[in-house]
Structure 1
Amino acid sequence: MAIRDTTIEELRAENEDLRLRLEEAEEALQAIRSGEVDALVVSAPDGARVYTLEGAEHPYRMLVESINEGAATLASDGTILYCNSSLATLLQVPLEKLIGSNFTSRAAAPDVTTVAAILERCRKEQCRAEVRLVTSGGHYVPVLFSCRGLGMEKDGLSAVITDLSEKKRADEIVASGELTGSIIEQAGQVILVCDANGKIIRASQLAHELYEKNLLGERFDEVCVLRMGDSRSIFSILDPLQGRTIRNEEVMLEGKTSPERHFVLNAGTLTDRQGKVIGCIVTLTDITYRKRAEQAVLKSEARFRSLFEGALDGIFLTSTGGRMLAANPAACEIFMMPEEELCELGRGGIVDEDDPAVIELLEERRRTGKTRGELTFKRKDGTRFPADVTSVIVGGEEPHAFVIFRDITDRKLAENSLLVAKDELEREVAMRTDELAQTLARLEEEMVARINAVEALREKERMLIHQGRQAALGEMIGNIAHQWRQPLNVLGLIIQKMPLAYRKGLFTEVFLDESVTNAMRMINHMSVTIDDFRNFFRLDRDKTAFKISQAVDNALRLIEGSFESRQIDIAIDYGEDPVICGYPNEYAQVVLNILNNAKDTFEARKIESPRIVIAAYATGEASVLTVRDNAGGIPDNIMPKIFDPYFTTKGPQGTGIGLFMAKNIMEKNMNGSISVRNTGDGAEFRIEAGTVHGC
């Protein structure tokens, strides 16, 4: 790269010198025109010459010819009457053709108006302006056009044309230098300019930011450690300084605290006009993100290749027109031919073109970019097989498509088998349906018969319940008779005693009051007995919390007269007296049935010291009541039957429904249970029910 050998400051000085020389020339010409100068001393290659100006036209012309600026004498309309060779050389027009032409015609089209205005104004005063003249080759030449009138006695104009090309170039060079510095500083790349000794003399802003310091004056090799390519060798600034150009070399910058970064390095030599090395320029283009993207692409390609090669389904990579680009091993195995042969056959060689689904799937893929369906493929040997096909178009400069397929021959066979099985199943279902209808008809008949039987059983159960109630009522009447017998005897004695006392004179007011009080006490006792029996047979409508002692005492009051007359001893231990949830009257009826059965067993077996022990306690979430007697127990052969309906050991006098009803009450109404076992000298009934938490 060639570089000028003059500095910007020198060019500026040269430009200023040209301007001063131009002003001196104009002042000299003005002095000549005004007659203030008699002679001129002009330096020439062969020595100084003296020109006399007093009326000597020839010496004046020699002076004009010797100056570097273009000079001309113009008519008032701009016609060139005379010009020197410098102007002819500037315009690249022969002198003889230039004289007689109009000066305005030599101006560039955009500056014609400016030149004409100067020619008009310069008759009154000196005028100057920068304009462009056109050479014979059509090139624009920037000049300073200075013009003034020749005087009152002469109708003409004097013009000096100074070539500004060098000045413009100097200005451009200065501006270019400043622009270059600005460009380097603001460049979007890392740019480093070094002198011949490898010191950094210019650097872009990105370069300072990259190394986090001001690099100017630093030696390149000391601050910029760049590893080149795979060789990992260090780039040296000596390479471009020794004339070796480096282009598009990948390098890596290893940061101390930041991740490594990748760049493309370009380095070239800077020379002056004589070819001498004056420095070099290094540019670094950051490709870190591109390298990371490339690595990601490589990983992605590796994953894709792994999936492509290892997939169990066949995969084709094709053009949208059907040309086969690649086939994975599974596809080659399915078609039983190598990849090259598959690619040569293309879509037309492996797809059954008679399959109507081909056109439909291709149209759907063209419209939506993807499709899925079933196609019929054909192998090299002519065999055909069905396949489940999925195809997706992948965009890009050259769109292509992935075709993923799976041989579904086995699935089709299975589907056909399923269809056959389905038909057979439908026939079997039809047969079974007929059989089921017949079975349902029979079941309906049996159901009617069973319903009738259930109704009969319910009627029988109602009869049993009625009989049970009748039996219970009979027992209750007997119990009432037992309860009332003693009060009635007492009343009878009171009544019989009253006439005897009257006849013996003992019928006093005191005697009468005592007799009435005793009689009323017996009558109240009999009334309470009636209330107890009436409350016992009243139905409980809602579950309620009650103590076990409450229900047991109610049952005992109904039979206490009967038990006392038979001298049956009853021992009671309520313990903590658990509270349970249920129907107290029904619970008392269960206890009453057990007590009556014990009383009957005592009489039947003639037990000498009959005794019943009643105990209550709580266990966990349940309450337990046990009723134990000493009547000898229940024989093992009848133990499992005692809760069955109609089972009795009392002969015609028994109904066989007492314990059956007790079991139903505990299980259905009280959410509890009742059981029995033999003890040492009798039987023990166990009644369990939920505690108050059940309410």
Structure 2
Amino acid sequence: MIKEMQLLFENPDNYCPAGLKQVNLKNAKHKQKKEALLNNEEQFRLIFENCINGILLTLTDGSVLLANQAACRIFGFTPENIFEVGKTSLFDSEDPNFLPALKALRKTGKFKGELTLLRKDGTKLQGELHSNRFRDKSGRSLNCIIISDVTERRQVEKEKTKADRFCLIGEMAAGIAHEIRNPMTSIRGYLQILKSKEELAGYADLFQIMINEVDSANSTISEYLCLAKNMAVDLKPVDLNTILEEFCLAISDDLVKNDLKINFEPGEIPYLLLDSLQIRQMVINLIQNGFEASPPGGCVTLKTFLKDDHVILQVSDQGNGIAPEIKDKIGIPFFTTKNYRKGLGLAACFSIASRHNAHLDIKTGPAGTTVSVRFELIPSLFNNYT
């Protein structure tokens, strides 16, 4: 008996009753299932919290039950206070797509499309939504909403469409101008010949007036040709700051005469591949617009700096900003609010920027307008700079 008890303590599994063994086996399997369930819950939690898209779980009345970090970031709320707002406070009810989205969700339980999002600070974003209605174990009706912030993507698409439209109009204008320039050159040549003839000396002043008019027309034609995207560029490694410094020096006397000021703030930037003449023309157009928008005695600020792998050229004025109703028309060839202008200045700037693989952006408000031109860094020139 003592020997059997000793063997039991040394090898309890060999002497365990069959029923007890079965209970132990069930307990082990239950423990494994519980651990697997906990692991799955942890994995789902990690996926939920680290998903780059916003995820909301809401009741049908709009109450937010769950929100991941991306959703809080998109709407500008903290994880604690996003639950205090309803779903309807997160979306712009004035968006024409809002009511159709609600109707689709009520009718089919699903919605896929874009809606305007409202951040906590009142700013609006463009969101791409996938919403699905389902019931939990208790029978509650819930909505799972997956949100992607597509504001930047839509803005880029809008700017590309706008640039393509500008390009088409510009190409048409440049093509027509090219066809006109050739006969105008011939006309000017023959006028000079006629002016030089002794028997027509009495008409010399009239011939000169006609030559001046032809020169004026040719000047306009040259502006039209600047709109052509395929206009040749003479790209060379150039210091943008040097171009701007030379320009400011060249117009310093005119600035004093007209009670105008330029504040030039050059930053430390690498050389860029630029066509100096075209960049100079772009700067002239931007500064001219800045002075026209600024009050008498106003100042236009020129800045250059390095940001996010780009060299930025900024031109800022002290005007009242661009009216909202014409903001989207700015840069369209031949659009102008001034009777004495042709509406080609900013259009030419967009074309010049495009030929340099640069991006031109306009931000405006009551305190003035800032035009930013972003030039891509040239690796070889940037490496020499660093």
Q: TM-score, normalization: structure 1? A: 0.23
Q: TM-score, normalization: structure 2? A: 0.40
Task: Specify the structure having the higher radius of gyration (Cα).
Answer: 1
